[in-house]
Structure formats: structure tokens, C-alpha cells
Amino acid sequence: MDKKLIEELKKKLETQKESLQKELKSFANEDPKIKHNWDTRYPNREDGDKDDQADEVQEYDNALSLEYSLELKLKDVNMALEKMENGTYGVCENCGKKIDEKRLLACPEAKTCLKCG
Ligand SMILES: [Zn+2]
């Protein structure tokens, strides 16, 4: 694969990684023991009365599902960056063929080619 293209995609992935981490950090803590794992903080409102408790549970629920999808995306981004290090980037995990460059430009963390994805 073209080195210039790899560099460009790497930059994209790193920007994505940063913004995902920033977003996760705003409501979750990174697990120091388990790699790529985040724990959503329970909303702790100091001025909350009893009526707010249902809201808090709802808020926590929303945060959990958001955390889940952000975490998955971050995992994919990290995997793609690891593959670049190993030189296995840009190959479909399903059929082993090269992933189309246009697809990678649109979605640098893609793990499969258009046919398989
Ligand atoms: Zn494929």
C-alpha cells in the first residue's frame, strides 16, 4: 500500500482516537487494569433531591449505551493502528483481500472489504 496513503489514514485514525477518548473521558473512566475498557461514572448530582433519582438512572442508562458504542469504535480505531504497526493494515479480515482505498479513506477503521462488510 502507498506510504503516503497510510500516513494520511494514520492521521485520520489518530484524530478519531483522540476525539473518542476525549468524549469517553467526559463521562467515563478508563479501566487501568483492562485494556480498552471504560467504566461509566454514575451521575452524581449534589443538588439532587428524590425526584431526580429516576432521571439519574435514565441518564446513567444513556451514558452506558453511549459508552458501549464509543468503546467499540475506539477499539476498531486502535486495532487499525496496531495493524499499521504490524503491516497487516488494509486487508479484509473475512476474505483476506485488499480493502478498496476509497473505502479506507471513507472509513479508515474498516476491517472488511465492501463485499464482506
Ligand atoms: Zn472481504
Q: How many whole angstroms from 53 Cα to the centroid of ligand 1? A: 48
Please, what is the Cα angle at 100 between 66 and 67, to 5 degrees?
5
107 in a domain, yes or no? no
Residue 79's domain comprises 3-89
104 in a domain, yes or no? no
**Whole-number pLDDT of residue 53:** 79
Q: How many whole angstroms from 111 Cα to the centroid of ligand 1? A: 9
Mean pLDDT over residues 96-100, rounded?
96
Give the cell for residue 30: 478508563
Q: How many whole angstroms from 66 Cα to the centroid of ligand 1? A: 29
Percent of the chain with pLDDT over 70: 94
8 in a domain, yes or no? yes
Q: How many whole angstroms from 3 Cα to the centroid of ligand 1? A: 22
pLDDT in tens, 41-76: 988 766 556 667 788 889 999 999 999 999 999 999
The pTM (predicted TM-score) of the whole model is 0.84
117 in a domain, yes or no? no
Q: How many whole angstroms from 69 Cα to the centroid of ligand 1? A: 23
Number of domains in the chain: 1
97 in a domain, yes or no? no
36 close to 71: Cβ distance less than 8 angstroms: yes
CA distance 92 to 110: 8
Residue (of 97, 109, 108) closest to 8 by Cα position: 108
CA distance 74 to 81: 11
pLDDT band for position 36 (cuts 50, 70, 90)? confident
Q: How many whole angstroms from 115 Cα to the centroid of ligand 1? A: 6
Q: How many whole angstroms from 65 Cα to the centroid of ligand 1? A: 29
> Which residue has better confidence, 35 or 88?
88
95 in a domain, yes or no? no
